[in-house]
Amino acid sequence: MSVKHTTEKALQMLRTLPRVTIGNIRDNPQSKQNVKRGRGQHGGDKHGAGNKGSGQRQNYMRLGYETGNTPFYLRFSYEPYYKGHHLKREYPPISLHQLQKLIDTDRLNYRAPIDLTTICNTGLFEIRPDMLHYGVQLTDEGADDFKAKINIEVQHAPEMVIAAIERNGGVIRTAYYDPHSLYAVVNPKKWFEKGVPIPRRMLPPQDAVEYYTDARNRGYLADPEKISYERLVLSQKYGYTLPKIEDDPDYAMLTEAKDPRQIFYGLNPGWVISLKDRAIIRQKQ
């Protein structure tokens, strides 16, 4: 093969090949061989356990130990802000948007009063008294889209939520449950199967009395006349016409309420419910 022919062939090949750039330069295949089996920075010879010391011997230090230094929890003084934090009552949130979705999907019956037992029976919310859960709080997410007319009892509700429910002709009430009663409220079937009487609801503690006796919070211990007045004040503040409950065809449902010592609708404290016999054992008068 002549030199001229070889040169022309090489030039012709260069005309068809792309230009050499940083983007298409690479090593020849199998030109570099990695002799180590990549296991971290040591290449596999330490087996992921580090270099000597307690880490290689799986003698792990206890949580909070700082290798001889004074640990964080001893280096800084006690903060009084956290005083009693392990005793504070917790109220898991439920938004108005979620409540409307439960009603639209027939998980909640809006033609009957809604309380904590009804919400727990949907199976979508878990209230754990052992984790200091004292009920639910109703949040204002979805307040503009809430259209249901309901009679609901929750443990905490802001002003916007109260206005959204009363604007549609509904009734809201905030009520307190003590931890012993909550075990029966969140799982009535388990409580009835034990064969013990329905407990009597205790009154709220001293730091919660003010909230549940305030008509602005629609507390269950508040004066009904003051609640009627606060309903009118709230409607004027948010600019909606307050529907008359007295003229509503669902007046009986909207005005149904529990006794302050009662935890179930239609069932009094002291009664024993037998699911096996489908019977209610009442106390003698």
Q: Is residue 74 part of a domain?
A: no
Q: Is residue 55 part of a domain?
A: no
What pLDDT shows up at residue 9? 87
What pLDDT shows up at residue 270? 92
What pLDDT shows up at residue 49? 79
Q: Is residue 13 part of a domain?
A: no
Q: Is residue 179 part of a domain?
A: yes
Q: Is residue 65 part of a domain?
A: no
Mean pLDDT, contiguous 10-residue spans, the chain (285 residues): 76 83 84 70 75 79 88 83 85 96 94 94 92 94 93 96 95 96 94 93 94 95 95 94 92 93 93 92 81
Q: Is residue 130 part of a domain?
A: yes
Residue 117 — left, alpha, or beta (φ > 0 → left; ψ -120 to 50 → alpha)?
Answer: alpha
Q: Is residue 103 part of a domain?
A: yes
pLDDT tens-digit map of 55-94: 788 788 888 888 889 998 888 877 777 788 888 999 999 9
Q: Is residue 190 part of a domain?
A: yes
Give the range of the structural domain holding residue 117, as residue numbers without chain letter: 86-281
CATH of the domain at 199: 3.100.10.10
The domain total for the chain is 1
